[in-house]
Amino acid sequence: MQIIILVFVVIYLFYLTSRISNLEKLLDDSGVKRRQILEQAHAEKAAQAAVQPQAAVATPAAKPQSQAATPAGWNPSFTQEDIFSTKTLTVVGVIALVFGVGFFFKLAIDRGWISEWGRIIIGLAVGALLIVLGDIWRERFGKFASAISGGGVAIIYLSFLLGNQLYGLYPDSVALALLVLTTVISFFAGHRYKSEFLNYEALVGAYLGPLLIYISADHHAFLFAYLTIVNAAIIYAQVKRFAPTVLLLAGFGNAVNFAYWAVQFLNTENGFAAFAYLFATVFLFVLLGAALFHHSAAAQNEEQREHNADLFAVFTALLGIYVFGAAEILFSGSLEAFRAPFQLCAGFIYMIAYVFVDRLERKSLNYTLTALAALSLLLSAYHQFNDNHIQTVLFVAIGLFAVACARVFKRADLAAMGTIVLFAGLFKSFVDPYPVDSQFLINSKFLVMLLAGGALVLANLTVKDYPDEEFQDVGMAAVAIAGISIWLAVTADLFHYNIMPTQLLFSVWSLVFAVVLIAAGAYGPWRVLRKIAIGLFVFSIFKAFLYDSTALDIAYRVVSFITLGVILLSTSFYYQKHKEQVKEFLK
């Protein structure tokens, strides 16, 4: 009986609210008409005064005209203060009714008048009432109305959770479906009314719900399906208004839910479902997010585009860290075979997302996406093959592919990414172990080191003829690293195979290679090599006087210093003979 009475009370509240809203609209329309009539009367009076300047007072006919223009039923004593008071009383009255119903609800629970199902139904009814009130008042009260609707959404979330967790009235699957429905409705309302408050509240409720429902049992299928649906709803909400802050909160919610689930329940049986969820998350947030950012950029000014690009870059970077960490946890066991394909697919998704946004010229976002794409592809190659040298060759191939794309599409960010990947391949070639039963300069490690260094030179040749300074900087860095790498490759082989006399050969090799770099820097397109050559000369001089003079045998000292003297004198003679070329060389 009490529930029926409450239902009638709720219906009557809807009726009162509708009547009050119609009355306010009528009063506002009447006030607008009155202002229009008064403005028209003043305009006519001013026109008459301009035509008849001799008339000191208005004619008797003017008064009846003004009176006739006043609409029937208009009460001139009804002022704006009265309208304000009416709105205020309406708001306070409805709030008082809500509090009264709440106190009655508490009293009924304390005395056992309402069953568990009755409490849930009443909570849902109150939440629905607040949502409808917010919808009715949204044009008049703006943010206050959004807060009222948000309170209704929160009450509905709480009612569904209490019915599942506290009272056990329905299973987890039903509770999850109800939460999904509430989340979708909340996002739809926030999208319709352009309310950030509703969006943020929907986010909190959406990602907090699974933590409260699945706190003691593994329901991974429902959990990942729910999170994917929520993520899709968030992406849909970005169609008309791109909000990177919402994406940041969504990424945090996904990370918290996945981390809690993985710590408690991850095993070989549920790993594939987690794999599918991670892939769907990257696809939705990165690929579709980039497409929506590109779509929204046309409707934004320069400052908004820059701000959103920076926030979206931060979101993409943090999401990448989350995905990489989750993949390492997920694929460390029986799903090891899926690690490389997942990273490969993620790399392609990042590259496609880059294609969506690259022409918007947002450097922070472009470099973030290219870096994530490169890292994903490198990890894919690393985990797919066990042979170190094959891994390095793939690193070089990925870097050259990026540099080639940079030349075709004239993208400095791609050139930088390709150069970094080539440098990573070069570094890996140096730290990889030497093969067994190999010889000096005739082994796979040395060949791979030369391949990586040569790829950097090729990268420079690819981008050097572009006038863009960023391309020039990338090319010079590539050729400088390549020059140093060739010197280090021979040096590493020399010391690894302990070719005697090692220190003497090292000194001679450094001097000879410095001469080669001098020639390449003077006559070739790579002037940066002359700085490396000068550095090698200085290094060789210090080594000869500080180390060779004391550590080598007397015969080796003779060879070391004679070689050093001959090369330095030959270089000096060349400088003296070709002063003009030297001046041009040193510019």
Q: How confident is the model at residue 350 (pLDDT cuts 50, 70, 90)?
A: very high
C-alpha 529/C-alpha 510 separation (Å) is 14
517 Cβ contact partners less than 8 Å away, ≥ 6 residues apart: 483, 529, 530, 532, 533, 536
Residues 261 and 342 reside in one and the same domain: yes
Q: Distance between CA 217 and CA 236 in Å, rounded?
A: 31
End-to-end CA distance of the chain: 98
Is residue 165, in this structure, part of any structural domain at all?
yes
DSSP 439: B
Task: Give the model's pLDDT for residue 346.
Answer: 92
The confidence band for 267, taking pLDDT boundaries of 50, 70 and 90, is confident
Between residues 112 and 506, which one has the greater pLDDT? 506
**Residues 6+ positions from 104 with CB-CB distance below 8 Å:** 6
Answer whether residue 144 is part of any domain.
Answer: yes
Report the 10 Å Cβ neighbour count for 453: 26
pLDDT in tens, 6-53: 444 444 454 455 555 555 556 556 555 566 666 666 666 666 665 555
Highest mean pLDDT: which range of 88-102, 166-180, 244-258, 402-416: 244-258
276 and 416, same domain (yes or no) = no
Rounded mean pLDDT of the chain?
76
Residue type (1 letter), 291: A
Q: How many domains does the chain have?
A: 4
- Angle, in degrees to the nearest 10, between helices 388-409 and 363-384: 150
Is residue 518's pLDDT more than 50?
A: yes
Clarify whether residues 525 and 581 are in a common domain: yes
Residue 522 pLDDT level (bands cut at 50, 70, 90): low
What amino acid is encoded at 320 in this protein? G
Top pLDDT among 456 and 231 is at 231
Asked if 433 and 411 count as a contact pair (C-beta separation under 8 A), the reply is no
Q: What is the mean pLDDT of residues 547-576?
A: 78
Let me know if residue 494 belongs to a domain.
Answer: no
CA distances from 257 to 254, 284, 302 (A): 5, 17, 36
183-207 pLDDT per residue, tens: 777 777 766 666 666 667 777 777 8
**Do 227 and 147 share a structural domain?**
no
Residues 416, 504: one domain? Answer: no
Q: In the structure encoding, which two tokens stand for residue 547, read together? A: 């180390």
Q: How many CA atoms lie within 13 A of 84 on its CB side?
A: 3
Q: Out of 43-52, 145-154, 516-525, which region has the weakest mean confidence (pLDDT)?
A: 43-52
Residue 463 CA to residue 465 CA, distance in Å, equals 6
Whether the predicted pLDDT of 233 surpasses 70: yes
**Residue written as token pair 């069953």:** 115
> Within 10 A of 532 (CB to CB), how many other CB atoms are there?
22
**Residue range 104-116: average pLDDT?**
72
Say whether pLDDT at 90 is over 60.
no
Same domain, 257 and 168: no
The answer to whether residue 571 sits within a structural domain is: yes
- Average pLDDT rounded to a whole number, residues 311-318: 93
- Assess whether 376 and 475 both reside in one domain: no
Give the pLDDT band (50/70/90) at residue 152: confident
Candidates 483, 462, 482, 485; CA nearest to 472 is 462
Q: Which of 426, 449, 483 is the last residue of a domain?
A: 483
Q: Which residues contact 180 (CB under 8 A, 6 or more apart)?
A: 226, 229, 230
What is the Cα–Cα distance from 191 to 223, expressed in whole angstroms?
25
On the question of pLDDT at 108 being above 80, the answer is no
Q: Give dist(CA 483, CA 15) in Å, integer.
A: 84
Same domain, 135 and 2: yes
Contacts 24+ apart (CB under 8 A), 535-541: 536/487, 536/510, 536/511, 537/511, 537/568, 537/571, 539/510, 540/507, 540/510, 540/511, 540/514, 540/564, 541/568
Q: Are residues 277 and 222 in the same domain?
A: yes
53 is a domain residue: no
Q: How far apart are CA 509 and CA 517, in angstroms?
A: 12
- Cα separation, 343 vs 383, whole angstroms: 9
Residue 262: other Cβ atoms inside 10 A? 17
In a domain, 198, yes or no: yes
Q: Is 53 exposed, middle or buried (0-12, 13-18, 19+ CB in 10 A)?
A: exposed
- 459 CB-side CA count, 13 A: 39
- The domain boundary, picked from 170, 189, 216, lies at 216
State percent of the chain over pLDDT 70. 71
- Reply yes or no on whether the pLDDT at 270 is more than 60: yes
Tell whether 100 and 148 lie within a shared domain.
Answer: yes
Which of these, 4, 5, 10, 20, lies nearest to 130 by C-alpha position? Answer: 10
Is the Cβ–Cβ distance between 197 and 146 less than 8 Å?
A: yes
Distances in Å between the Cα of 73 and the Cα atoms of 63, 70, 261 are: 19, 9, 67
Same domain, 206 and 138: yes
- The set of residues, in sequence order, having a beta carbon less than 8 Å from that of 422 and lying 6+ positions away, is 395, 396, 399, 400, 403, 452, 455, 456, 459, 478
Least confident among 94-98, 415-419, 427-431: 94-98
Lowest-pLDDT range of 177-186, 302-311, 446-455, 576-585: 576-585
At residue 95, does pLDDT exceed 70?
no
Range of the domain at 181: 1-42+85-216
pLDDT value for 33: 58
**21, 155: one domain:** yes
pLDDT average, residue stretch 558-580? 75
Residue 444 predicted with pLDDT over 90: no
The answer to whether residues 400 and 459 touch, using CB atoms and an 8 Å cutoff, is yes
pLDDT band, very low/low/confident/very high, at 545 (cuts 50, 70, 90): confident
The least confident of 27-41, 189-203, 365-379, 564-578 is 27-41
Domain membership of residue 488 (yes or no) is no
pLDDT at 405 over 50: yes
Residue 77 covered by a domain: no
Q: What is the pLDDT at residue 277?
A: 92
